[in-house]
Amino acid sequence: MKALVCHEITDDLSGVEIREVDTPVPGDDEVLIKVRATSINFPDILLCQGKYQLKLEPPFTPGMDTSGTVAAIGSEVVGFEIGDAVCGGARFGGFAEFAVVKAEGLQKKPDNLSFEQAASYSAAYLTAYVALVRRGRLQAGETLLVHGASGGVGMAAVDVGKLLGATVIATGGSDDKLAKVKAYGADHVINTGSGFRQQVKDLTGGRGADVIYDPVGGDVFDESIRCIAFDGRLLVIGFTSGRIASVPSNMPLIKGFSVVGVRAGEYGRQFPDRGRENVAQIWDWARQGKTRPYVHDTLPLEQAVEGFRQLLGRKVVGKMIICP
């Protein structure tokens, strides 16, 4: 089969290419999927650059969120049959014509989602749910500030924030992309080119945002601590800006806010029962049509690295999808 293989860790992704590899065989508790769509997530890129907390030795195939049809089933797997439309995934392996996934990581694809939408769902919405519900304790009527709002995890946070009854302020660096976020449901949008602190203060009557969702880090984090409400929660999702920020300890003391780390997958591994509840809730929302995963575009497997570069170049709104 064809697969996107990282054969060398390189910052410029020159060590990633399409290769012919053996089709994997599912283990006893695994399912082989004929892949229809896999979304690009920042961790996929970071894995290939050696910058992610999970370190893999090449060669490996990245790809976390996948959808497709069941092609083979391990001896211990129940609940799935050959031909079932499924979605979900693992920490790697999805950018290929076939992928092996543990059965516990799969869901039956909701009928109301396309394969592309289903592939864009799991990581982004699980991150948003764990961040806003489990870690951020977002309440109806509170103000949520979402940075990097046009990205995959950002759009999911806007969607979940509105579903939870929050007033959502979305930020980004492109007026065109922010217009799409506004049409998607954000109450207010702010172009961060000239800063955002005062605009957030103005929109909240001087109080600041109750919950701040920050996958960007760097300067955005620094300014966020200047416009967070007392008893606010600043959620650290990631560092797509490239700089890991730090906070002077007097700031949370004086302003009474919390800095909260969010690792959605690790949360489920540390608290398995809650982890299963998290997954069940987001897919229940999907089946009820309460959430709306946003697909930017699709590319063939041969152009997967181009998709990586578009994501790195901040050219993607929502999720970029690779279809073998």
Q: Tell me the pLDDT of the chain (324 aa) as tens digits.
A: 999 999 999 999 999 999 999 999 999 999 999 999 999 998 899 999 998 888 889 999 999 999 999 999 999 999 999 999 999 888 899 999 999 999 998 999 999 999 999 999 999 999 999 999 999 999 999 999 999 999 999 999 999 999 999 999 999 999 999 999 999 999 999 999 889 999 999 999 999 999 999 999 999 999 999 999 999 999 999 888 878 889 999 999 999 999 999 999 899 999 999 999 999 999 999 999 999 999 999 999 999 999 999 999 889 999 999 999
84 alpha-carbon distance from chain centroid? 25
Asked, as a colleague might, if the bond just before 59 is cis with ω within 30 of 0, I would say: yes
State how far the Cα of 189 lies from the Cα of 182, in Å rounded to an integer. Answer: 6
The reported pLDDT for the residue numbered 241 is 81
The reported pLDDT for the residue numbered 239 is 87
The reported pLDDT for the residue numbered 52 is 84
Neighbours of 12 (CB within 10 A): 8
Task: Enter the tokens of residue 225.
Answer: 């601590």
- Specify the amino acid at residue 273: D
The reported pLDDT for the residue numbered 16 is 96
Q: Residue written as tokens 């416009």? A: 227
Strands 2-6 and 98-102, sheet pairing: unpaired
- Pair 144, 122: CB distance under 8 Å: no
The reported pLDDT for the residue numbered 128 is 97
- Pair 200, 169: CB distance under 8 Å: yes
Q: Which domains, and CATH codes, for the chain?
A: 2-121+293-323 (3.90.180.10), 124-266 (3.40.50.720)
The reported pLDDT for the residue numbered 61 is 97
What does the CA dihedral 86, 91, 97, 99 come to, rounded to 10 degrees? -60
The reported pLDDT for the residue numbered 170 is 98
State how far the Cα of 322 lies from the Cα of 305, in Å rounded to an integer. Answer: 10
Query: What are the CA-CA distances from residue 296 to residues 12, 94, 150 (Å)?
Result: 23, 18, 10
Helix, coil or strand: residue 118: helix
The reported pLDDT for the residue numbered 243 is 86
Phi, psi of 179 (to 5 degrees): -60, -35
For the entire predicted model, the pTM comes to: 0.92
The reported pLDDT for the residue numbered 296 is 94
The reported pLDDT for the residue numbered 195 is 93
The reported pLDDT for the residue numbered 23 is 96
The reported pLDDT for the residue numbered 133 is 98
Tell me the residue ranges of DSSP E strands in the chain.
2-6, 16-20, 30-39, 65-73, 85-89, 98-102, 106-108, 143-146, 167-172, 188-191, 209-214, 228-236, 258-261, 295-300, 319-323
The reported pLDDT for the residue numbered 53 is 80
